Each structure stands twice: as C-alpha cells, then as structure tokens.
Amino acid sequence: MPSGCRLAAARFAPGTGCQDSTDIPLPTALEQATRQRQAEFVAGRRCARAALLDLTGRPDCPAMGPERAPLWPTQVVGSISHCRDQAIALVGPTDRYRGLGIDLEQPFSASQSEDLGPLVLARGESAPWNAALHPFLVSLSFSAKESLFKALFPLVQHRFDFAAAELIEWDLQGHAVLRLRNSLGGEWQPGVRFPVRHCRFQGLLLTRIAIPASTAPTHGSVA
C-alpha cells in the first residue's frame, strides 16, 4: 500500500440491492439501477467510509460527482473499485498524493483477451509479448489503465481512452509502468510515466497507481 494511505475491502452479496442499507444514501441516478449496481455502489461506499475513518477519524461517505468521480473530503484523494462480490477503496492525504487509482478485475480468458486486446492495447503494446502471457498482459494493461483513469480524471477533468497510455514495462513480481502517449492537457504530456503495482487479491487482479504530491510529472518516473 502507498505510504500514508488507508485501504478497506469487503465482500458483498451482488444480488441484494440496497435493501440492507440505511446508512449509505443512494444517489438519485441509481434509484432505478439494477440490484447488482446498487449493491456494488453501497459496498464501495462502505469501504470508502471505513478507509476514511481510519485515515481522518471521520466516517465520511463521498457523494457521486460529475462523470461518477467520488467527491472526497478536502485534503483527501482516493479511489473505489468493485468486481464480482468484492469491493475496495484506497484513500490518502493530499499533502502526500495528488491522485490515487485502484482497480479490481476478473482476469480475462484467452478468448476475452483476443476480443478485447485491440480495444485495450495501444499500437505496438502487444508486439514483443509472449503469446502465452497474452491474457494476463491484456488484463494487466486494461486494469492499469482503469486505475490511471481514476487517478487522473479528477486532475484533468475530462475522459480519455485506452489509447492515451501504454504499458511499457511489467514483471510478474508486481511492478509495471504506464506511459502517456497523448496529451491530456497541462503537465500531463506524452512520455509522462506512472509506476503501477499489481497483485492477486481474492482471486482477482488488483492494480493501483499513486501520484505523489511532491513530484512534478516528468518524462521519468512520477511515483
């Protein structure tokens, strides 16, 4: 876990909707959503609240902001993910982090990676990869880019797609590096690198990105 951050994770029953939830208000946009969507939202918010309680001493529950980005308390950044029956939230203080991104994914099967590879991978990203590792690497690229999106969206304030970054380094010990291919505005220019950590968590692939507060982005490492 990034230094000074707090993580909270919980299992939930995907089919239960929010019937057992009086403590987490559903946003209007989710009142007519499926039970699965309501259940994952509530589970993610419970994790966020537990992580915030641990970090700040206050059990805040972030509202849903524009483009679904959670609205964290002042002096906190964070990120939420849910997959299958698992939810997770990561939070940290703004004096140490400008952005945090976390993502849980069910690793892709061989046929899913064949289908999704062209969507997820930037041009040239797949070329040197061992075919046997293709499903893992498509999964890793996908999840790392979702983590990047969650960490950067609050800073750039616009959406960007999978072609905006490429996985340029990875190993099986939990390290990887994403590099921007496109300008996302301001200091987020092509060549900026984001170290990624990855691991297995409850049978899922977990990735996370932490953008430190103290380091200006360069064409070298930013974390």
Ligand X SMILES: CC(C)(COP(=O)(O)OP(=O)(O)OC[C@H]1O[C@@H](n2cnc3c(N)ncnc32)[C@H](O)[C@@H]1OP(=O)(O)O)[C@@H](O)C(=O)NCCC(=O)NCCS
Contact set with ligand X (CB under 6 A): 40-41, 44, 64, 67-70, 80-83, 103, 145-146, 148-150, 153, 160-162, 164-165
Which is closer to ligand X, CB of 32 or CB of 131?
32
CB atoms inside a 10 Å sphere around CB 57: 7
CB of 70 to ligand X, least distance (A): 5
The nearer residue to ligand X, 131 or 167, going by C-beta atoms, is: 167
Provide the minimum distance between the beta carbon of 162 and ligand X in the complex, in angstroms, as a whole number: 5
Buried b (16+ CB within 10 A) or exposed e, 9-25: beebebeebbeebeebe
Whichever of 90 and 135 has its CB closer to ligand X, that residue is 90
Indicate the residue among 76 and 131 with the shorter CB distance to ligand X.
76
Query: Which residue in this structure is represented by tokens 């559903």?
Result: 26
Angle, helices 134-156/110-120, rounded to nearest 10 degrees: 40
Q: Shortest approach of ligand X to residue 153 CB, angstroms?
A: 3
CB of 63 to ligand X, least distance (A): 10
CA distance 36 to 16: 7
- C-alpha 185/C-alpha 192 separation (Å) is 12
Which residues on neighbouring strands pair with residue 92, listed in sequence order? 77
**Which CB atom, from 104 or from 132, has the smaller least distance to ligand X?**
104
Residue 131: CB minimum distance to ligand X, A: 24
Q: Name the minimum Å distance from CB 83 to ligand X.
A: 6
In 39-192, DSSP assigns E strands to 63-64, 70-71, 76-83, 86-93, 97-105, 165-170, 175-180
Cβ nearer to ligand X, comparing 114 with 161: 161
- Taking Cα atoms as reference points, which of 198, 76, 181, 112 lies closest to residue 147? 198
